[in-house]
Amino acid sequence: MRIPRIDMWALGYRVFTFNPCDLGKIADLFLKNGINVRFFGSSVKIPRSEEERVISLLSGKFQYEVSEVRGALGWLSRFLKRRGALFALVIFGVLFIFSSSLVWDVRIEGIEPALEKEIEARLYEAGLKEGRLWARIDKNEIENRVLQSCDKVSWLNINRRGTVAYVNAVVRLDFEENENPVGYANIVAERDCIIEEIRVVRGYPLVKVGDTVKKGQILISGAYPSEIGGGFCYAEGTVIGSYSDSCRVDITRSDRVKRLKKKKTVAFSVKIFGFSLKLYKNYRNLDGECVIIENEEVHSILGGKELPISTFTETLVIYELSTLERTDAELVSLAREEMQNLLLKDLKNKTLLKLRTEAEFSDESYIMTSYYTCTSSVGKALEFEAERK
């Protein structure tokens, strides 16, 4: 397999063309002097590194023609000789570097079109516009100025990607300040989670989608920063977070259960016009678990009008405790049912994302554990008192 001569293409080579009658002698000359060449018709390609040696071998003995330097290096040397092309290359480089340091476009995301125009105008006033040098743009200052001047935006962030400025904004839906000094609150996290969605009705958001928060961390603050005017309010909004949790069910192999041993009537009385007539009564010292059930039955004529006569019965139900041994199948069935009820209770008003259940038998019990990831509302209002000056 022929190996491509990358060194010749990179460093350059010349093509030597000979008289066809001399090819045998020239091939013999190259063979005896240890020069690697391949003949293409009457021509050979000689790398720049061996050029002098070949010329010294051939001079005075054979006639030949030599081409200009070919390959990448040859092209570059010819190119550099053309001053106009070199100058154009330099000018192009300067223009390219200069143009990439300018803002070419400002794109606003997360805002409805009606508000986009207003925010664009505010950004222009603050100094973010097409044609401005990136080095002269202070992103933090522009963000603060726009938040101060535009009441409808509660959060703003400017990102640079290449030559485009991407502006992300969150709209404030309502803006009211509660005058009652006691009526201020922050929205705090009820548990550790990752923020999936945040909708601010009132207040200043301190977190954004994707942030990891701890239990008790303020999500929407009821205190506005001084850069945007200060003040307090009762923060309102909805914060949806995702988190993982688990629930466990443990069913023992043996259990103490109540079995019905005996049931008997211990008292019977009749009530007529509100007067009670006890006809039978029999209570004894009772052993074991027992329950007395009282039942009053009102009589009526053919299921219609009720008569002022009713019978009153007391029934004694005696239980005995026994040990119930469950089979593996019963354990699994009970655990499954209990886990289902537990999950229904835990996942009420939540959106389940992922669920994995594991179970194992032990000598004494069957343990089933379900691990789940879900999303739900994680914010709750926590009131605070603000100092009035």
Partner 1 sequence: MIKLFKRIKGLADSLSGQFSDFHIEIDKNKSGLTVLVGGAFSVKEYQDTSCVLKTAMGEVKMLGKGLDIAVYENKTVEISGRVEEVCFAYSKN
Site residues, partner 1 (CB under 8 A):
20, 23-24, 27-28, 30-32, 34-41
CB-nearer residue toward partner 1: 22 or 314: 22
Cβ neighbourhood burial of 239 (10 Å; 0-12, 13-18, 19+): buried
* Residue 126: its H or E element: helix 113-126
Amino acid, single-letter form, for residue 63:
Q
8 Å CB contact between 170 and 161: no
Q: Please tell me the distance from the alpha carbon of residue 142 to that of residue 158, in angstroms, as a whole number.
A: 9
CB of 13 to partner 1, least distance (A): 15
CB-nearer residue toward partner 1: 32 or 305: 32
CB of 11 to partner 1, least distance (A): 19
CB-nearer residue toward partner 1: 39 or 98: 39
Strand order in the sheet with 105-109: 105-109, 164-171, 153-161
CB of 16 to partner 1, least distance (A): 14
CB of 49 to partner 1, least distance (A): 14
CB-nearer residue toward partner 1: 4 or 20: 20
Amino acid, single-letter form, for residue 68:
E
CB of 12 to partner 1, least distance (A): 21
Q: Which residues are 186's β-sheet partners?
A: 382
284 to each of 280, 290, 299, 318, 343, how far by Cα in Å? 13, 12, 30, 12, 47
CB-nearer residue toward partner 1: 41 or 84: 41
